[in-house]
A and B are shown apart, each in its own frame.
Chain A
């Protein structure tokens, strides 16, 4: 492919328009977070103020929801890191019966619509009389976070050569030393990227959570209630802006950690 070719103008315009379509609505959030208008979504905003940042800061219900979201996302990410890495290591280092079935099973929770995962978990909890709690939320989140870690780890295992492990063993290291000094340094950045993406996925999840949460409110559930019945528009505007900023960090982080590899993290959500 020649790289000095110039793109036709219509293609440039179409691609640019498509990107604008993707970004303008999100940018709008940043404007609305500072509007003085409280009762409607009036455009252009009549004036700008930073008052709502302070109001939002002093709201205990938002802090509670945020706390629960962070707790759920952290624990789910840890579980997903453990399960996803184990599964990736097993699938990429050996051939065995049912290998394809296992990789399909890992992908299934995000290939099927979220509502199926949600209602399936809920009916299972109902059938087995498990009461809703923080742990039922974590159970659901960890299940669909595994695939994100798995994808990143599998891509890295595929790139790192098996002879490194053999060399380490030949030089007298036992399995644990090899894991500690050879395998872990090799896959560390892939795991970090996968973990960040899993955190972002769990932090934002709402469809499965509505089925597994009972009375507890994560931050997305708080936002969903505001979307269905808007009561405090200015506070919602500020929360929306903060959520956008918070999710951008792990995404950019994961991108920089894996950008020189053949498979960049996050290309499959």
Chain B
């Protein structure tokens, strides 16, 4: 206890004082005390649950009794790879890719304007204008689209007013993207996904565009580059980390969602719905767990690629 500090100040009195002193003398102890609660919480509850999930996916369900057979087996993964389930996976991944691509296209002008031209009050207005939709209730946003896409709703009314109902009907009669009405077609599901995840693309894109030096664009123009060439050869490569960072969100969120396709869309399942129905009514938790491993694997691969492209500096 006779460390040199004591020569300068007298030892503090009281329990708290002594505690403060010993924490000061042992910074490692303080660090341990600070880290223990969050690490225990996340490590035990969250990582523990993830491990439990992974373990369950190696169990199987007994077809006759419907009970879970707690023995290691790859049977559930064989079941996951039957064509009907592969269909679900392909459908979900294609939807996630389409939503991500569309989100980049719609988000780019907003992010570019906000990063480059908006100043002062306008900048704040843009920021709030992106933040409010980002944070408003997820279900309310879906509900709003249910109102928009309803047969008696505003979109059909608008098409009728413009005498364009024939155009909408022609679109809906297309295979794959069409359907009986917008609210039960892939187009409807796609629109809602795009709407709900769009802000997640705008924000990282804006952050990366703000870091593109303005004089590079001027130099490109001075050297005779047309706006299109400047965009292709200067802006896009420099903004790519932001695009990738945003795409992590739009891709991952679309992969794991089960509420949007359930409310607006056809009856064909997405991964999230498959997980939900297998664990719920069917009680086949091993298969649900195996299905949930699919987005984990896809996102793990995606994150690894993104890290190699340097996208994490733009987060």
Q: Does B172 lie at the interface of the complex (its beta carbon under 8 Å from any beta carbon of A)?
A: no
The stretch that binds B, out of A39-47, A50-58, A155-163, is A39-47
**CA distance in complex: A120, B272 (Å):** 13
**CA distance in complex: A110, B248 (Å):** 11
Q: Does A34 lie at the interface of the complex (its beta carbon under 8 Å from any beta carbon of B)?
A: no
Known: A40-B150, A117-B46. A240 touches B143 (CB 8 A): yes
Q: Which residues of A contact B128 (CB under 8 A)?
A: 252, 255
Q: Does B288 lie at the interface of the complex (its beta carbon under 8 Å from any beta carbon of A)?
A: yes
**CA distance in complex: A210, B277 (Å):** 12
Q: Does A251 lie at the interface of the complex (its beta carbon under 8 Å from any beta carbon of B)?
A: yes
Interface of B is mostly: helix
**CA distance in complex: A72, B261 (Å):** 27
**CA distance in complex: A100, B138 (Å):** 31
Q: Which residues of A contact B130 (CB under 8 A)?
A: 22
Q: Does B225 lie at the interface of the complex (its beta carbon under 8 Å from any beta carbon of A)?
A: no
Beta-carbon contacts of A243-263 to B below 8 Å, as 1s and 0s? Answer: 110011001100100010000
Of B17, B34, B252, B288, most A-chain CB atoms within 10 Å: B34
- Give B14-35 interface residues, CB cut-off 8 Å to A: 16-17, 20-21, 23-24, 27, 30-31, 34-35
Known: A112-B295, A206-B139, A266-B131. A146 touches B42 (CB 8 A): yes
Contact of A43 among B39, B53, B154 (CB under 8 A): B154
The stretch that binds A, out of B74-82, B103-111, B173-181, is B103-111
Whether the pair A268, B315 counts as a contact (CB closer than 8 A) is yes
Q: Does A83 lie at the interface of the complex (its beta carbon under 8 Å from any beta carbon of B)?
A: yes
Whether the pair B45, A143 counts as a contact (CB closer than 8 A) is yes
Q: Which residue of B lies closest to A248 (CB)?
A: B132
- Give A33-78 interface residues, CB cut-off 8 Å to B: 40-44
Q: Does A232 lie at the interface of the complex (its beta carbon under 8 Å from any beta carbon of B)?
A: no
Q: Does A192 lie at the interface of the complex (its beta carbon under 8 Å from any beta carbon of B)?
A: no
Whether the pair B259, A224 counts as a contact (CB closer than 8 A) is yes
Known: A41-B152, A113-B255, A268-B203. A143 touches B46 (CB 8 A): yes
Q: Does A194 lie at the interface of the complex (its beta carbon under 8 Å from any beta carbon of B)?
A: no
- Chain B contributes a number of interface residues (CB within 8 A of A) equal to 101
| Shortest distance from the beta carbon of A140 to any chain B beta carbon, whole Å | 9
**CA distance in complex: A6, B138 (Å):** 36
The stretch that binds A, out of B83-91, B162-170, B193-201, B236-244, is B193-201
Whether the pair B140, A29 counts as a contact (CB closer than 8 A) is yes
Whether the pair B9, A29 counts as a contact (CB closer than 8 A) is no
Q: Which residues of B contact A90 (CB under 8 A)?
A: 31, 34-35, 38
Known: A15-B112, A96-B31. A204 touches B134 (CB 8 A): no
Q: Does A25 lie at the interface of the complex (its beta carbon under 8 Å from any beta carbon of B)?
A: yes
Whether the pair B109, A43 counts as a contact (CB closer than 8 A) is no
| Shortest distance from the beta carbon of B190 to any chain A beta carbon, whole Å | 13
Whether the pair B49, A124 counts as a contact (CB closer than 8 A) is yes
- Give A134-149 interface residues, CB cut-off 8 Å to B: 139, 142-143, 146
Q: Which residue of B lies closest to A43 (CB)?
A: B154
| Shortest distance from the beta carbon of B148 to any chain A beta carbon, whole Å | 6
Q: Which residues of A contact B226 (CB under 8 A)?
A: none
Q: Which residues of A contact B252 (CB under 8 A)?
A: 111-113
| Shortest distance from the beta carbon of B124 to any chain A beta carbon, whole Å | 7
| Shortest distance from the beta carbon of B196 to any chain A beta carbon, whole Å | 10
Known: A19-B129, A90-B35. A244 touches B258 (CB 8 A): no
Q: Which residues of A contact B295 (CB under 8 A)?
A: 112-113, 115-116
- Give B114-160 interface residues, CB cut-off 8 Å to A: 114, 116-117, 119, 124, 126-148, 150, 152-154, 157
Beta-carbon contacts of A200-225 to B below 8 Å, as 1s and 0s? Answer: 10001011001100000000100110
Whether the pair A94, B31 counts as a contact (CB closer than 8 A) is yes
Known: A22-B198, A142-B41. A236 touches B143 (CB 8 A): yes
Q: Which residue of A lies closest to B279 (CB)?
A: A119
| Shortest distance from the beta carbon of A86 to any chain B beta carbon, whole Å | 5
Q: Which residues of B contact A8 (CB under 8 A)?
A: 227
Q: Does B310 lie at the interface of the complex (its beta carbon under 8 Å from any beta carbon of A)?
A: no
Q: Which residues of A contact B61 (CB under 8 A)?
A: none
Q: Does A183 lie at the interface of the complex (its beta carbon under 8 Å from any beta carbon of B)?
A: no
Whether the pair A28, B46 counts as a contact (CB closer than 8 A) is no
| Shortest distance from the beta carbon of A70 to any chain B beta carbon, whole Å | 14
Q: Which residues of B contact A122 (CB under 8 A)?
A: 279
Whether the pair B136, A21 counts as a contact (CB closer than 8 A) is no
Q: Does B52 lie at the interface of the complex (its beta carbon under 8 Å from any beta carbon of A)?
A: yes
Q: Which residue of B lies closest to A23 (CB)?
A: B133
Contact of B110 among A19, A87, A143, A266 (CB under 8 A): A19
| Shortest distance from the beta carbon of A6 to any chain B beta carbon, whole Å | 8
Whether the pair A26, B109 counts as a contact (CB closer than 8 A) is no
Whether the pair A176, B154 counts as a contact (CB closer than 8 A) is no
Of A6, A28, A123, A236, most B-chain CB atoms within 10 Å: A123
Can you list 18 contacts pairing A with B, beta carbon distance less than 8 Å? A19-B126, A19-B129, A26-B140, A26-B144, A86-B35, A113-B257, A114-B257, A115-B256, A115-B257, A119-B292, A120-B50, A123-B49, A139-B45, A143-B46, A175-B24, A197-B135, A206-B138, A267-B207
A227-B143, A248-B132 known; 20 new pairs, CB 8 Å cut-off, are A5-B116, A14-B109, A18-B106, A42-B153, A90-B38, A94-B31, A105-B42, A105-B47, A111-B248, A112-B295, A143-B41, A146-B38, A206-B139, A207-B256, A220-B138, A236-B143, A243-B137, A247-B137, A251-B132, A269-B135
